[in-house]
Each structure stands twice: as C-alpha cells, then as structure tokens.
Amino acid sequence: MSTTSKNDKAAVSVIALHCSGSGANQWRPLRETLASMSPRHAFFAPEHYGCDGVGPWGGERAFTLADEAARTVEIIDRHPGQVHLVGHSYGGGVALRAALERPRDVASITLYEPSAFNLLKGMGADGAREFAEILAIASRTAEGVVAGDLRGAATAFVDYWGGEGAFSALRPSVQSMLTRWVPKAPLDFCALIHEPTLPSAYAKLRIPTLVMRGEHAPPPTRLIAEILSTLMPVAQLMTVPDAGHMGPLTHADKVNEAIALHIAQCGEALESLAE
C-alpha cells in the first residue's frame, strides 16, 4: 500500500488547461520543457467538453465553469502533493475555478490572459466597455451556431482572438476541427460571463501566481490580467513582448520558459519550507 500523502514533496503535478477551441497538444512544448528541467513533474493536460476526445456537454442542466473544472479537481484529488495550475484564456478561467475549490492543494498558478469575464462587471466604465465587447463577440458566435453557419461562427471567434484573417490562415484540418468544435463556444462564453465568483474570493487565494498577457492583448483580457494581478495577494504581472492573446501558441518558447521558471521557483520555495 502506498503511504504517499498530499504533503509528499516528491510528488508534484502540473495541470495545464488549454484555451477554447484548442486541445491537449497545445501544451506539448511546455511538457517537454518541464521534462528537461526535472523528471519529478507529472504532467496532465485534460481536454474540455467539446473536444473530439471528450465529446459534448450532456445537457442535463445549464453548463457552468464548475462543470468544466470538475475534471481538473478530480486530478488534484487523485494525485499526491500539491499541483501547479497553468491556464490559457478559457483554461485560465477553469484553472481559477479549480484553485477556488482546492486552494490548499495548489502550489502555484500561471495564467495567460485568463478570460474571467465575470470580473469585468465590477470594473466601472472601463469594465463595462470591455464587457460589452465580449458580449458582442459571444452574440456573434452564438448567432452563427444557431443559424447553422458553423464555419462563419468559427471564423468570427478565431479572428477576434487571433486577429483578422487568423482563421483563413489555419490549415484546412484545423479549420475543420474548429468548425466541429464551435457549437461549444456559446457554452464557454456563458460559463465565464455568469461565473458567480466575486472579486473578494480571488483576493483570498494566497497562492503564488504569475499572470501573463501579450503586449497586443485584446482590451478585455488586458484589463482582466491587470486587475487579477492586483486582486490576488501573491501575484505578479508579466507582459510578453510582441505577443497577442494567442501568445502560448505564437510565442511558445517565451511563454513556456516563463511558466517553467515560475513553477521551478515555487517548487524550490516549497521544498525550503518543508526542510
């Protein structure tokens, strides 16, 4: 029988959560980077509902961010030691939800432009303007899905986050994958927008957190990154030069290097405390 406990410093897991429309392969370079640094990291990249490997949401009730985070929370509960959470965009929102549910089991958090759209509601005039922008792209995507124009919906979604022409620049196989996935997009938007967590709850997360944003971040996620880095008491903000919202893909080397460094530093701090 194993005697490993949640306090076993040798059992450290990294859980990396991808953005909407992506998949586990998004984090393959990060996995390789971490493996080259230390063999002690177990790496998990669970996929979200709507991905080919997971399938659609069952529809038994209104979908929530907690439903998406359940798979991550299960991994946390199943593995010994504290975990390091990593999340990009929608995955960042999921990571925050998981951290709120298991704060004592999280060693560090790294977020790249987390789409915690619920925060925009309490940010005054600036937040209201950026919230309206998110509502507009959410509506445009949902209208395409309802009308059956899945390719049009996928194009609108990808071009918003990646820049005009981003969808047409993708390989045909990736375009097809996104067109299959896009009916999930309205659920992601709704889960993020209607997430009930108040800003005061994030302020209680005393977990070392690196919040990253691209130099050319869209205004909504730029504002969210900036406010989270001030809300969370042990957080720092990093700007990735020349990058946009899709920085973990377009500037993977820079982003993954920063993630790996943050995880390593937090791991060393935990080991020092345990000695």
Q: Write the DSSP symbol of residue 26.
A: G
Predicted pLDDT of residue 272: 54
Instruction: Write down the pTM of the prediction.
Output: 0.93
pLDDT tens digits along 203-223: 999 999 999 999 999 999 999
| Strand ranges inside 117-269, DSSP E | 209-214, 235-240
Confidence class for position 3, pLDDT limits 50, 70, 90: very low
Confidence class for position 152, pLDDT limits 50, 70, 90: very high
Predicted pLDDT of residue 273: 54
What DSSP string describes 168-206?
A: TTS-HHHHHHHHHHGGGHHHHHHHHHT----HHHHTT--
Neighbours of 10 (CB within 10 A): 9
Can you say how many angstroms the Cα of residue 200 is from the centroid of all Cα atoms in its chain? Answer: 20
pLDDT tens digits along 227-247: 999 999 999 999 999 999 999
Average pLDDT of the segment spanning 92-97? 98
User: CA 171, CA 182: separation in Å to the nearest integer?
Assistant: 16
pLDDT tens digits along 6-42: 444 445 789 999 999 999 999 999 999 998 877 677 9
Confidence class for position 4, pLDDT limits 50, 70, 90: very low
Query: Is the confidence at residue 77, as pLDDT, over 60?
Result: yes
User: CA 144, CA 182: separation in Å to the nearest integer?
Assistant: 9
State the chain's mean pLDDT as an integer: 92
Q: Which strands, in side-by-side order, build the sheet including 235-240?
A: 41-44, 12-17, 83-88, 106-112, 209-214, 235-240
Domains in the chain, please, with CATH?
12-118+198-274 (3.40.50.1820)
Average pLDDT of the segment spanning 97-112? 97
pLDDT tens digits along 109-126: 999 999 999 999 989 999
User: CA 15, CA 88: separation in Å to the nearest integer?
Assistant: 12
Hey, what's the torsion of the CAs at 251, 257, 262, 268, to 10 degrees?
170
Average pLDDT of the segment spanning 132-159? 98
| Percent of the residues in the chain that have a pLDDT greater than 90, as a whole number | 87
90-101 vs 185-193: helix crossing angle, rounded to 10:
50
